[in-house]
A = this chain, B = another copy of it.
Amino acid sequence: MTREKVKLCHIANDSARKTTFKKRKKGLLKKVSEIHTLCGTDTCAIIYGPYDNQPDVWPSNHEVERIVSKFKRMPEMKQSKKTENQNSFLRWRIMKSNEHLQKQRNDNREKEMTDVMFQTLAGKSLHSLSLMELNDLGSMIEQQLKEIDKIQSDANSIMATVAGSSSSAAAAATLLTPTPPPPPPTDHGVMMNDGDSYQAAAALMELMNHKIL
């Protein structure tokens, strides 16, 4: 979640997993403690560490027992209302992800519109633009492309997140509209500081063709 967006899937490396577990357990217990303090809720958590048969519990064994028995005393019907919590949580996440994805697609479409405008501009007056102007245009387009790439990669990462978030991955994935595979990582670098403007124009056009994914 920092330095790099993390893929939400089981960490293969043993020691890395243990390290992450320790850090996250600390954070998790803090959060549990905070929600308890701030909102006065009965809250408990049980976590079995990766190498230890003794779970970490919060706030204490005794409280866990109390809360669990309170939970077990509830009429079966009321219990069942929330029984599929994991599934509904997953569904909620998928929904949110879809919303986000849709939003990103809209943004994407907007970018593409802008890009078409650039193209039109370029097509109309390519022959009349100075080398300097072509360079500027190239930079602007390159920036657009980078933003689009980013959005694409974000979208893919969301897909991965949802897909990896539970054993219902397959089911989850089918709820999402298919997305084309990510484009190969391309470096759209453009730097036209010499050569004639025809070369520049050619490079620019190639750049634009790249854009139409």
Chain A contact-residue range equals 35 or more
Chain A positions within 8 Å of B, measured between CB atoms, are: 6, 8-11, 17-18, 20-21, 24-25, 27-29, 31-35, 37-50, 53-65, 67-68, 70-72, 74, 78-87, 89, 164-166
Q: How far is the CB of A149 from chain B (nearest CB, A)?
A: 26
Say what secondary structure dominates the interface of chain A.
helix
User: Can you name 18 extra interface pairs (CB under 8 A) apart from A10-B38, A33-B166, A57-B85?
Assistant: A8-B38, A10-B40, A20-B38, A28-B35, A37-B166, A40-B50, A42-B55, A43-B48, A44-B45, A53-B78, A55-B70, A55-B71, A55-B82, A56-B82, A57-B71, A58-B89, A59-B85, A64-B71
Pair A50/B39 contact, Cβ less than 8 Å: yes
Pair B11/A39 contact, Cβ less than 8 Å: yes
Residues of chain B within 8 A (CB-CB) of A44 are 45-46
